[in-house]
Amino acid sequence: MTHPNFFVIFEVKNLSGKLIFDTEYNQLIRQQEDREDYYKDPIQQVNHQHFQLENWLKRHRFNDRIPIYSFVVIVNENAKIEPKNKGDLISKKVARDTKLLDTIISLHKTHKKAFFTNNDLRNLQELLIKKHIPSDPELLNLLKLNREDLLTGVFCPECSRCPLKRIHGRWICLDCSTISKNAHLQALRDYALLINPTITNVELRKYLHTDSEAVANYILISLDLDYEGITKSRIYNLSPLQTEIKE
Ligand SMILES: [Zn+2]
């Protein structure tokens, strides 16, 4: 999860049964019914991702002093979390998904200083796009981002405010008053690369923060995209937008 003041990496595990975290031998033991399964230590895994992210930021000259937190998140209700050894700091690194909101709120309260501007976060995304890693899930995985972590909406081409408001067929920035007719293009390119190369009317409305089906329709038609399906269930192919990116 990216936030201007801190980043959080979540390694999500959907395992059920008794999960025994063995930090001494770096393994996760799952006991269920009469069997035992063994997995790589997710704490070590998430620590490694943490290290990689720090290096990645440094390498690409982003502010690498931004605090980064990393957690293993257990999402399965039928899991019992258990440290193998007493004194293991499992409780600091492993959490249930239900605790995440509290964790984020508390990080929010304790980190008042911004290390990234919205613009920086935007550049971070753009850099990933420029790296041209072909498949979208890979792009998100590279930074351990979930789809929900991405800022959605149309960005202001001048000041990077997001989202812009659509008024009378144009995108208006309420901060710097910039007016743009096609600022949604970049947003849809990002969508194609980071989320999905195809989009429906409903998805477009949600992503561009517009309630109007007619507006979404207008935008989709004006882009002259190939599509499959009829009327409301049409699936539009955004891929041609990507090849239009020129450096
Ligand atoms: Zn603006």
What does the domain layout of the chain look like in residue ranges?
A: 7-110, 118-243
Cα of 128 to ligand 1 centre, how many Å? 23
In angstroms, what is the span from residue 69 Cα to ligand 1's centroid?
31
Rounded distance, CA 121 to CA 117, Å? 6
Compute the mean pLDDT over every residue in the chain, rounded to the nearest whole number. 85
pLDDT for res 188:
92
Task: Give the separation between CA 4 and CA 194, rounded to whole angstroms.
Answer: 20
Between the CA of 183 and the centroid of ligand 1 the distance, in Å, is 11
pLDDT of residue 244: 52
How does pLDDT run across 211-241, given as a tens digit for each residue?
999 999 999 999 988 888 877 789 998 877 8
Calculate how far, in angstroms, residue 161's C-alpha sits from the geometric centre of ligand 1. 5
Residue 245 above 60 pLDDT?
no
pLDDT 10s digits, 62-93? 888 999 999 999 988 999 999 998 877 888 89
Q: How far is the CA of 206 from the centre of ligand 1 (A)?
A: 21
Q: What per-residue confidence (pLDDT) applies to 246?
A: 35
pLDDT (average), residues 177-197: 88
* pLDDT score recorded for residue 228: 85
| DSSP code of residue 2 | B
Residue 134 CA, ligand 1 centroid: distance in Å: 30
- pLDDT confidence bin for 130, thresholds 50/70/90: low
Which amino acid type is present at position 33?
E
Q: Over the range 210-219, which residues count as b (16 or more CB within 10 Å of their CB) and which as e? A: beeeebbbeb
Tell me the CA–centroid distance for residue 177 and ligand 1, in Å. Answer: 6
| AA letter at 19 | L
Specify the pLDDT at position 104: 86
| pLDDT category of residue 24 using cuts at 50, 70 and 90 | confident
Say what the pLDDT of residue 98 is: 87
